[in-house]
A and B are shown apart, each in its own frame.
Chain A
Amino acid sequence: MAVLVIGDVRGGALDGATLKSVTAAKAIDADVDILIAGEGVDAAAASASDIVGVRKVLRVDDGVYDNNLAEPLADLIVALAGDYAAIVKSATSVGKNVLPRVAALLDVMQVSEVTEILAADTFVRPTYAGNAMQTVKSNDRVKVITVRVSSFDAAQLGGSAPTEAIDARGNPELSCFVGEELTNSERPELTGAKIVISGGRSLGSSENFMELIFPLADKLGAAVGASRAAVDAGYVPNDYQVGQTGKVVAPELYIAVGISGAIQHLAGMKDSKVIVAINSDEEAPIFHVADYGLVADLFEALPELNDALC
């Protein structure tokens, strides 16, 4: 039986996370359909049909799905679920919000943040901030899983799946959208970036982030992340947080600046290919996972690094 991937639509376009979900779905079954829902999602649906190996795209053109409100979106997915062996969605904030609702409505246990698919019913997922990897077998009729985007490769483009328009479901009107405040950034998106540079509490202010971290990020073409302490202190927006309860990244290069390396932070970056740590305390736990450690005062090291890179 086929797998239904719930597509990620952002600002009318298909988000790269969907390509990762498709790769995961393919490991469950060869037949993969993608659901694209929202108003004016033709472009996103076209991108979805472009993904190699997709059987068909289900397009639901209706504004009720625009803001990813959990209740109408879950009802739609549940209405489609009957034909599928599995429902797969990236573990983005939308996936985490909606998919457990779908699972409960189907009376199945969701498998969260899957990092590896061993068989159509057997999955690996991290628990305890990534310190214990569980291999679980789901005995439920439909497998409902969210997948960790950083653990799967992107599916290739160049396909030409047909698109089928399907009807919207009603809106249960349990919640309504009031507004949003998005961080506009020209920089790459954190979970998809090749290089990430993150700052911690010791940056001391948002001005220091601006002066020391951002220019360096721009030179490297990097995304900017942060520890919880830096976010809580208001130096950068909430969605910059990397860690167990923030975003999980696995870039080619992760540079941790003035971050101690608490287990909750490591949970979000320890699968990066190369880790660099800059910290004034040579005992800082971050050095246990760093490939290259520089014991230095960040206020000296960062300007130097900035000058050295052109």
Chain B
Amino acid sequence: MRARKGFGDKQASSEKGDIMKILVPVKRVIDYNVKVRVRSDETGVDLANVKMSMNPFDEIATEEAIRLKEVGIATEVVVVSIGPEKAQDQIRQSLAMGADRGLLIKTDEMVEPLAVAKLLKAVVEEEKPDLVILGKQAIDDDSNQTGQMLAALLGWGQGTFASKLEKDGDALKVTREIDGGLQTIALKLPAIVTTDLRLNEPRYATLPNIMKAKKKPLEIKAVDAYGVDIAPRLEILKVTEPPTRQAGVKVDTVADLIGKLKNEVGVL
């Protein structure tokens, strides 16, 4: 059993596993406010000089991990990103929010979810967290895969699209957003959780905390250090604009609107 560090009675009453180490993977993505432009040669989208940010779901993941630490359920929050040199900015943001330590696995390649999951598995084997909290979806590739894949590779249980987490003895109770409502499951630890929008509202990093975060440890490693094959499995043949919709007409009154819907499109 590991030592308990002066927790309140509520936590101290549960068994082993009440002091968790949490790993939070964060991705550097195009800011959610930016309207992306597809490159005219159809090879991808234009990322030159656009604002980049932490994937919003990963801010939620960071926030949740920090809250678990604040209530004494977690001891340490480690943040990891796989991406370019600049992804340090996003790791620093997590550190400024309250995470303890960061790791950048540096690469300028596009890394697919399967390869990200393999790298994260290697990190998990080194760091031995009890819980990994990821975002449910990166808003650039919109894959919604990495957490589930990591769970599969580790042979762990998964609580995806979480809108509520509760520690319940040895288990973690996860309320999930599903089609038709909410589902609650209990996960054996260690486990994987992915965040949905309603899990929490991430805090802003304060200036003093941003300053403090600059002194927190941030290790940088090369992808090669992990011996993981990150060659893409999907060949991107082209990237195109979606069909554009023409703006239609403005109608003046409700009666006009009903008339158009009845007569011009026949949908009513």
Q: Which residues of A contact B (CB under 8 A)?
A: 10, 67, 69-71, 74, 92-94, 96-105, 107-113, 122, 126-140, 172-183, 191, 195, 220, 228, 231-232, 237-239, 244-245, 247, 252-253, 263-264, 270, 273-276, 282, 287-296, 301, 304-305, 308-309
Chain B interface size band reads 35 or more
* Nearest 10 A/B pairs, CB to CB: A174-B157, A291-B248, A104-B149, A100-B148, A104-B152, A100-B145, A109-B233, A182-B181, A175-B157, A178-B184
- Asked if B198 is at the interface of the complex by the 8 Å CB criterion, the answer is yes
- Asked if B122 is at the interface of the complex by the 8 Å CB criterion, the answer is no
Determine whether the beta carbon of B158 is less than 8 Å from that of A136: no
Determine whether the beta carbon of B242 is less than 8 Å from that of A126: yes
Name the CB-closest residue of A to B151. A101
Determine whether the beta carbon of B136 is less than 8 Å from that of A128: no
Q: Which residues of B contact A (CB under 8 A)?
A: 30, 32, 35-36, 38, 44-45, 57, 112-114, 117, 136-137, 139-153, 155-161, 163, 173, 176-188, 191, 196-198, 232-242, 245, 247-258, 260-261, 265, 267-268
Determine whether the beta carbon of A101 is less than 8 Å from that of B158: yes
Determine whether the beta carbon of B267 is less than 8 Å from that of A294: no
Contacts of B182 in A (CB 8 A): 180-182, 238
Q: Main SS of chain B's interface residues?
A: mixed
Determine whether the beta carbon of A245 is less than 8 Å from that of B241: no
CA of A228 to CA of B114, assembled, Å: 29
Determine whether the beta carbon of B144 is less than 8 Å from that of A136: no
Contacts of B38 in A (CB 8 A): 131-132
CA of A104 to CA of B192, assembled, Å: 14
CB < 8 Å neighbour of A140 from B32, B233, B253: B233
Determine whether the beta carbon of B142 is less than 8 Å from that of A127: yes
Contacts of B178 in A (CB 8 A): 93-94, 180, 239
Determine whether the beta carbon of A289 is less than 8 Å from that of B245: yes
Q: Give me 11 other A-B pairs in contact (C-beta within 8 A), A183-B181, A245-B137 excluded.
A: A70-B160, A127-B141, A131-B35, A132-B45, A175-B185, A181-B183, A181-B184, A245-B139, A252-B267, A287-B250, A292-B260
